C-alpha cells in the first residue's frame, strides 16, 4: 500500500516555508516537498522527504505517482512577476506547464485511489490589469471578475492556470465516458503582496515593502524602486497561511467560487516607509524609481474586494498595518537581526 502524503511544490520558497511550519505545528507529519534547490534545515526537519528536482521533470513526477498516495497538493513553485519579465518563455514553462503537470498528477492520483485530491493554487493580484493610474485611483475595491487583463507574463500565467484548475475540476475529458468531475478539488486565492518576518521574497514586484523593513532592521541602505504614492494591497505571511488553511478546510458546498480575493491593508510605499521609520528612525531608505517595475505596480489594483471569501469561508485578516508591525513583523525581525 502506498504511503498517504501531502505534496508541496516550491517548498523552499517563502510561502512553502510558512506552510510547512504551520502544517507541522498542527501535527501533520506526512509532508513531501519538491524544490529546485536543497531545502534548508528548517524545512527538512519538518518534512518526511524533500525531492530536489523540477516540476517539469516527468520522470520525477512519475516516481512520486508510483510511490505515494497523494491527499492534497499545495503548488507553490512559480517564477514571480519581475523575474518572469526577464525570461517570459521560461516563466511560461514553469508557471503554466508546471501547474498542468501537477494538475495531471492530481487527476491520475484521484482516479487511482478513488478519492478527490485537493489542489491549492496561489494566484495573485497580478491577474488584474488597470489601464491608467486615474482609473486605478477612482475605481475602488475591485472584485474577482473585474479587470482581468494582466499586463505581465506572470499575471497571464496565473489567470490561465485558474482556468486550468476549473477545467480539471469540472470538465476534464468531458467526451470520454468516465465521470471525472470533482476528482480534482481546485481552490485558489489571489494574493496581494506578502510580507514575511522570516524570509525575503525573490523576483516579485511587490518586494519593495518586505525589502524596506528587512533592510532597515539590518541597518542597510535601501532604494525603493517605486514612487512614494505607489499603492497595492499587502498582507502578512502569517495571514496568508491562515487564508490557505481556512480555504482548504472549508466544506466544498460552502464555496461559491474556485478563486477568491483576500485583503488586509493597502499602504502607499511612503506610508509603509513611515511605519518602518516609526520603529527604525535611522532607516536609510530613498526612492529611485524603476519605471518599468513602477508600471507593473501601477497596473495592479489599489484595493480589492474580498466579500466573497468573508461570506463563504469566514475570512478576515488578523493583521492590519499596525498589528502587522507590532504583533508579527517586529517581534520576529528584532530577535532575528539583533542576534546576528
Q: Which residues bind ligand AKB (CB under 6 A)?
A: 80-81, 124-126, 154, 191, 193, 204-206
| Rounded Cα distance, 217 and 279, in Å | 9
| Rounded Cα distance, 298 and 38, in Å | 35
Q: 50 vs 232, which CB is nearer to ligand AKB?
A: 232
Work out how close the CB of 251 gets to ligand AKB at its nearest, in angstroms, rounded to a whole number: 28
Q: 81 vs 109, which CB is nearer to ligand AKB?
A: 81
Half-sphere exposure for 36 (CA within 13 Å, toward CB): 10
Q: 61 vs 79, which CB is nearer to ligand AKB?
A: 79
Work out how close the CB of 176 gets to ligand AKB at its nearest, in angstroms, rounded to a whole number: 35
Work out how close the CB of 18 gets to ligand AKB at its nearest, in angstroms, rounded to a whole number: 13
| Rounded Cα distance, 70 and 58, in Å | 16
Q: 33 vs 155, which CB is nearer to ligand AKB?
A: 155
User: What is the number of other CB atoms lying within 10 angstroms of the CB of residue 322?
Assistant: 11
Work out how close the CB of 339 gets to ligand AKB at its nearest, in angstroms, rounded to a whole number: 28
| Rounded Cα distance, 78 and 98, in Å | 8
User: In sequence order, which ranges of the chain are alpha helices (DSSP H)?
Assistant: 14-25, 41-46, 58-67, 81-86, 88-92, 98-113, 133-138, 153-166, 208-218, 237-249, 269-279, 291-299, 307-313, 321-323, 330-338
Whole-angstrom CA distances from 232 to 128, 299, 310 are 12, 10, 20
Q: 119 vs 191, which CB is nearer to ligand AKB?
A: 191
Whole-angstrom CA distances from 263 to 11, 99, 259, 307 are 24, 24, 14, 10
Q: 68 vs 301, which CB is nearer to ligand AKB?
A: 301
Q: 165 vs 172, which CB is nearer to ligand AKB?
A: 165
User: What is the number of other CB atoms lying within 10 angstroms of the CB of residue 126?
Assistant: 29
| Closest CB to ligand AKB: residue number | 204
Work out how close the CB of 162 gets to ligand AKB at its nearest, in angstroms, rounded to a whole number: 13
- Distance of alpha carbon 99 from its chain centroid, rounded? 13
Work out how close the CB of 299 gets to ligand AKB at its nearest, in angstroms, rounded to a whole number: 11
Work out how close the CB of 95 gets to ligand AKB at its nearest, in angstroms, rounded to a whole number: 11
Amino acid at each position: 500500500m502506498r504511503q498517504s502524503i501531502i505534496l508541496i511544490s516550491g517548498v523552499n520558497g517563502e510561502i512553502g516555508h510558512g506552510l510547512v511550519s504551520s502544517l507541522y505545528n498542527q501535527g501533520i507529519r506526512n509532508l513531501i516537498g519538491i524544490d529546485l534547490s536543497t531545502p534548508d534545515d528548517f524545512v527538512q526537519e519538518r518534512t518526511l522527504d524533500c525531492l530536489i528536482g523540477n516540476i517539469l521533470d516527468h520522470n520525477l513526477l512519475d516516481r512520486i505517482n508510483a510511490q505515494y498516495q497523494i491527499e492534497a497538493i499545495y503548488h507553490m513553485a512559480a517564477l514571480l512577476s519581475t523575474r518572469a519579465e526577464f525570461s517570459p518563455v521560461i516563466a511560461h514553462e514553469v508557471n503554466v506547464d508546471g501547474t498542468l503537470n501537477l494538475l495531471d498528477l492530481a487527476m491520475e492520483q484521484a482516479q487511482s485511489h478513488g478519492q478527490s485530491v485537493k489542489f491549492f493554487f496561489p494566484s495573485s493580484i497580478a491577474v488584474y490589469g488597470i489601464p491608467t493610474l486615474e482609473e486605478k485611483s477612482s475605481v475602488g475595491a475591485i472584485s474577482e471578475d473585474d479587470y482581468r487583463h494582466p499586463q505581465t507574463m506572470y499575471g497571464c500565467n496565473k489567470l490561465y492556470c485558474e482556468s486550468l484548475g476549473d477545467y480539471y475540476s469540472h470538465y476534464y475529458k468531458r467526451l470520454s465516458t468516465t465521470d471525472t468531475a470533482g476528482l480534482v478539488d481546485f481552490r485558489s486565492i489571489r494574493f496581494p503582496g506578502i510580507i514575511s518576518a522570516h524570509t525575503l521574497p525573490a523576483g516579485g514586484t511587490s518586494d519593495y515593502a518586505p525589502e524596506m523593513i528587512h533592510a532597515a532592521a539590518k541597518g542597510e541602505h535601501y532604494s525603493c524602486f517605486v514612487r512614494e504614492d505607489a499603492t497595492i494591497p499587502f498582507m502578512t505571511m502569517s495571514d496568508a497561511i491562515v487564508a490557505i488553511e481556512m480555504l482548504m478546510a472549508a466544506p466544498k458546498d460552502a464555496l461559491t467560487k474556485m478563486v477568491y480575493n483576500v485583503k488586509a491593508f493597502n499602504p502607499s510605499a511612503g506610508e509603509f516607509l513611515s511605519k518602518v521609520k516609526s520603529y527604525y528612525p535611522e532607516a536609510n531608505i530613498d526612492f529611485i524609481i524603476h519605471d518599468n517595475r513602477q508600471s507593473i505596480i501601477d497596473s495592479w489594483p489599489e484595493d480589492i474586494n474580498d466579500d466573497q471569501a468573508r461570506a463563504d469561508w469566514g475570512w478576515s485578516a488578523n493583521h492590519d498595518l499596525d498589528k502587522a508591525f507590532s504583533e508579527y513583523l517586529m517581534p520576529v525581525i528584532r530577535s532575528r537581526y539583533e542576534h546576528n
